[in-house]
Amino acid sequence: MWIHEIMSYAHPEVLVDTEWLSQNPPNENRKLVEVDYDPVNGYQKGHIEGASLIWWKRDINDPVTRDIISKKEFEALMSKNGITADTEVILYGDFNNWFAAFVFWVFKIYGHENLKIMNGGRKKWELENRDYTTDEPQITSSQYVAQPPDEGLRAYLFDVSRGIGKEDTVMVDVRSPAEFSGQITAPPEYPMEHAQRGGHIPEANNIPWATAVNDADGTFKGVEELRQNYEPKGVTPDKDVICYCRIGERSSHSWFVLKYLLGYPKVRNYDGSWTEWGNMIGNPVEK
Amino acid sequence: MLLDLPVLEKGSFYFIKDGNSAIILEDKTKRGLEIKETSIDETLKVKADKGMIHDMDGIGHWVPIRWYFSKDSYDLSNVQLHANAMEKKYTELRELTCPQDDD
């Protein structure tokens, strides 16, 4: 991607590319964090030199209740990773950066300012045959004070129910067309992520997450292509936009695109997503 | 196409199909799973199509989808032994999760 394309994003400062990272390794003020859904087949087999690990399931989710971690747990996680409120943090990960985007969203909920994503994630790093290590960095724990949660970034079931039928609210279903139509509720690879009903939230637009990235290396498309991806379907900056998928990770990727690359002022991620909506008794479903 | 092969035997959880050079045992519970590699299954020591299933923690586990028992080395009765073991394993698992009320 050309530099002028990156600079035309609404917030170009939230992205770094693989080459930049290879020239600017982590240090005391710049922490690199790999975010994995499957660390056994990711981080543990090899990661970028100096990267610590956030395991999405273990570290960013409450261990008992279905929810993201609390402010206190987030502070403990930051301290464990040697991150302070002023640290520049660069996230990247497996599964097309979906979970890195989810963690980006959680960092923003708790007010971390200096935060970036490595464009293309593990996929691009590996396509470029760049080096990995299995050595884990020595981390000195830090003191971290988070901000109160910014609930304006998160949509709950109640918000979604209220948004149905409202002209100024638009729902973006970023799942595959087969999930959107109700043909499947989850692929066989993810037997824990099914719902009792298939289909989508009434009036939602199906704009799969993958339409925002370049097939070849998983990097984000340029601004013009992104605009063309969303605006003709009524997903415009003047709306209250709610993104959802199955468990909220692919939708945080699209949330990132809309909020930080296109600069939409009001975008929320509905992390309850289809595994909540499609399991609730009485929820309206469209096929 | 594997789908078109004649079925020699079927159970609740398996098919045994007649391939050209192999008798094929298919695990019905892995239906629809993407084949990510074909390699020797260390348990049954025969070639198998394998996919990956992610558990509650997100960790991916390699699982066989179907096994190819060469006709040079195996006959139907050999394959039936494995099929019966699989049927027993899944039946017990089902009993554990959905026990019959009348038991």
**CA separation for the pair A151, B3 (Å, rounded):** 50
A281 lies within 8 A of chain B by CB: no
Residue B102 lies in a domain: no
What confidence score (pLDDT) does residue A133 get?
A: 98
pLDDT tens figures, A64-103: 999 999 999 999 999 999 999 999 999 999 999 999 999 9
* Chain B residue closest in CA terms to A95: B58
Tell me which chain B residues have a C-beta less than 8 angstroms from the C-beta of A189. Answer: 33-34, 51-54, 60
Of B32, B59, B60, the CB nearest to A188: B32
Residue type at B13 in one-letter notation: F
Domain assignments of chain A as residue spans, ordered by start: 3-149, 152-277
Residue B60 lies in a domain: yes
Domain that holds residue B47: 2-97
Q: Which residues, in sequence order, are bridge partners of residue A31?
A: A89
* Chain A residue closest in CA terms to B62: A189
Residue B50 lies in a domain: yes
List, for chain A, all residue ranges whose pLDDT scores fall below the cut of 50: none
Tell me which chain A residues have a C-beta less than 8 angstroms from the C-beta of B30. Answer: 188
Residue B59 CB contacts under 8 Å (≥ 6 apart), including other chains? A38, A39, A40, A41
Q: Is residue B99 very low, low, confident or very high in pLDDT (cuts 50, 70, 90)?
A: confident
Task: Determine the longest span between alpha carbons in chain A, in angstroms.
Answer: 54
pLDDT tens figures, A5-33: 777 999 999 999 999 999 999 999 999 99
Q: What is the ipTM of this complex?
A: 0.84
User: For residues A189 and B59, is the Cβ–Cβ distance under 8 A?
Assistant: no
**CA separation for the pair B23, B68 (Å, rounded):** 6
* Chain B residue closest in CA terms to A188: B33
* Domain A3-149: which CATH number of 3.40.800.20, 3.40.50.2300, 3.90.226.10, 3.40.250.10: 3.40.250.10
What confidence score (pLDDT) does residue A3 get?
A: 66
Q: Given an 8 Å threshold on Cβ–Cβ distance, is A188 in contact with B58?
A: no
Residue B34 lies in a domain: yes
**Of A35, A89, A115, A245, catalytic:** A245
Residue A34 CB contacts under 8 Å (≥ 6 apart), including other chains? A42, A43, A47, A48, A51, A52, A53, A54, A91, A92, A93, A94, A100, A122
**CA separation for the pair A104, A110 (Å, rounded):** 10
- Place domain A152-277 in its CATH homologous superfamily: Rhodanese-like domain (3.40.250.10)
What confidence score (pLDDT) does residue B95 get?
A: 86
A44 to chain B, minimum CA–CA distance in Å?
12
State the average pLDDT over residues B78-98.
Answer: 93
Residue B29 lies in a domain: yes
Domain count, chain B: 1
State the average pLDDT over residues B23-43.
Answer: 96
Phi, psi of A263 (to 5 degrees): 75, 25
User: For residues A42 and A123, is the Cβ–Cβ distance under 8 A?
Assistant: no
Q: Which of A35, A37, A38 to probe by mutation at the B interface, max B CB count within 10 Å?
A: A38
Q: Which of A189, A246, A247 to probe by mutation at the B interface, max B CB count within 10 Å?
A: A189
Same fold, A3-149 and A152-277: yes
What confidence score (pLDDT) does residue A44 get?
A: 98
In order of A68, A153, A284, B5, B11, the CA distances from A149 in angstroms are 11, 9, 29, 58, 53
What confidence score (pLDDT) does residue A7 get?
A: 77
Active-site residue, A243 included = no
What confidence score (pLDDT) does residue A9 get?
A: 97
Q: Percentage helix, strand, coil, to 5, in chain A?
A: 35, 15, 45
Q: Is residue B97 very low, low, confident or very high in pLDDT (cuts 50, 70, 90)?
A: confident
Q: What is the mean pLDDT of chain A?
A: 96
What confidence score (pLDDT) does residue B7 get?
A: 96
What confidence score (pLDDT) does residue A1 get?
A: 62
Residues in chain A: 287
What confidence score (pLDDT) does residue B100 get?
A: 66
What confidence score (pLDDT) does residue A112 get?
A: 98
